Structure 1
């Protein structure tokens, strides 16, 4: 059993009704959104999924109910993006390339905060072979997006800083336009160092408006509280010696394994398959 199929089985995803990509995209049309994150033990995550089954569908891509994600993050030499997030600055930002491995789909993504503190994600589709780099087209896109957001950083200032890999299941409440993602088999890597989320835990994100969605209320009923956790911030905190200690690092040390010296660059990547076609 592959990590993806084991993750799907562990969550009990087969009990949910499936939804097409077009249906999930329609429910997820909100780009100005509020994200809330939770760390759940796997057994609690399974209960959570079972109780969502009445009103949530799971993204089903030809019978596949998970997707393997590879995200390469870019930062300045002094880790300006990392520091902006740790210090809670109003103008926070992230730049990454993201590969949806089974679908051969790659995007350059820039995440910023708007004036109300909501996350705004900007994306540009690029060839799968462009994963992990910022070519001319991607650099222009990054420069224009950051400039519009008032962030004085340019693509020329950025270099690869960390790679995050995980398996994701996406759930959507098609009636209310809210989504839930569940991430497992999560690893962080940079150079010859890697760290991993405890396999007995699942990172859950709810994505919706300012009001609590049914999924958030269910998590509160299950006595699970939101956490402030960014995959990139956690990965950088664990993998880069000498960064200042912070609450993120303490949380990471509770739920992540200690870094090892296995070089991600020597590991085989999932083979991209057919491209996923977004809804028009």
Structure 2
């Protein structure tokens, strides 16, 4: 049984109406948004989906309702992106290449925060063969975005720092332009170490405006509370020796396990 099929079955995604990628993008592209994250047991995530069947569609790609994601994150030698997050600086940033494994699609993505704390994401489509690296064109793109956000970091300073892998289901409220993503089988990789999320939990992200979306209200009603949990920040916090203790690490230790793993940082997963 594939990881994607297992997550889809565990979440009950078959109960939702499907939507094409074009429909989801048209209604809820949300490059400028407020993100809220919740770490919840799988059964609670399934209850949430059951509550959203009347208002949300699930992204359906030719019958496939989950996608495997590989994301390589880039950072400075001093881990400037990691430190900006754990120190809660106003000007936070992330640079990554992301591969949608089954579809063979790859993008360079830069995420920043605006003056109101909202996430702003910029993306550049690149060939799948360029996953895990920053080419000259990608470096120019990264420099333009970071410079525009007032972040004094150049792409030449960055190198691959960690890789995150997971399976994602994406839901969208096509009428109100909000999205919900559910990530399972989440793991973070650095050198020869891996930190993996307890398979009985799912990381849920709501992506919308300043007001709470229906999914947020449902989750709060179930007793879930938003958490500050970046996948990259978790990976570095658990896998890099010598980093100062922080709130992210204390939360992550409750739900993540670490172990030795010889898989290389940029292991390719062929498209299905």
- Is the pair's TM-score, using the shorter chain for normalization, greater than 0.5? yes
RMSD between aligned residues: 1.1
Structure 1 unaligned segments of length 5 or more: list them. Answer: 274-280
How far, CA to CA, are the matches of 1:7 and 1:55 in structure 2? 21
How far, CA to CA, are the matches of 1:2 and 1:8 in structure 2? 10
* Equivalence for 1:278: none
* Equivalence for 1:95: 95
Structure 2 unaligned segments of length 5 or more: list them. Answer: none
Does 1:132 pair with 2:132? yes
> How much does 1:267 deviate?
9.1
Normalised to the residue count of structure 1, the TM-score between the two structures is 0.95
* Equivalence for 1:27: 27
Does 1:261 pair with 2:260? yes
How far, CA to CA, are the matches of 1:268 and 1:120 in structure 2? 28
How far, CA to CA, are the matches of 2:265 and 2:225 in structure 1? 38
How far, CA to CA, are the matches of 1:156 and 1:200 in structure 2? 40
How far, CA to CA, are the matches of 1:161 and 1:266 in structure 2? 9
* Equivalence for 2:2: 2
CA contact (8 A) 1:38 1:203 kept: yes
Kindly tell me the number of residue pairs found equivalent between the two proteins.
272
How far, CA to CA, are the matches of 1:267 and 1:195 in structure 2? 16
Q: 1:221 to 1:126 in 2, by over 3 A?
A: same
> How much does 1:264 deviate?
2.1
CA contact (8 A) 1:190 1:264 kept: no
Counterparts of 1:114-263 in structure 2 under 5 Å? 114-257=114-257, 259-263=258-262
How far, CA to CA, are the matches of 2:29 and 2:270 in structure 1? 29
How far, CA to CA, are the matches of 2:104 and 2:59 in structure 1? 17
How far, CA to CA, are the matches of 1:56 and 1:25 in structure 2? 14
SS for the counterpart of 1:245 is coil
Q: Give per-residue Cα distances to partners, 1:183-203, cap 9 Å, x unaligned.
A: 000010011111100000000
* Equivalence for 1:39: 39
Normalised to the residue count of structure 2, the TM-score between the two structures is 0.98
How far, CA to CA, are the matches of 1:179 and 1:77 in structure 2? 34
* Equivalence for 2:269: 270
How far, CA to CA, are the matches of 1:2 and 1:158 in structure 2? 34
Q: 1:11 to 1:241 in 2, by over 3 A?
A: same
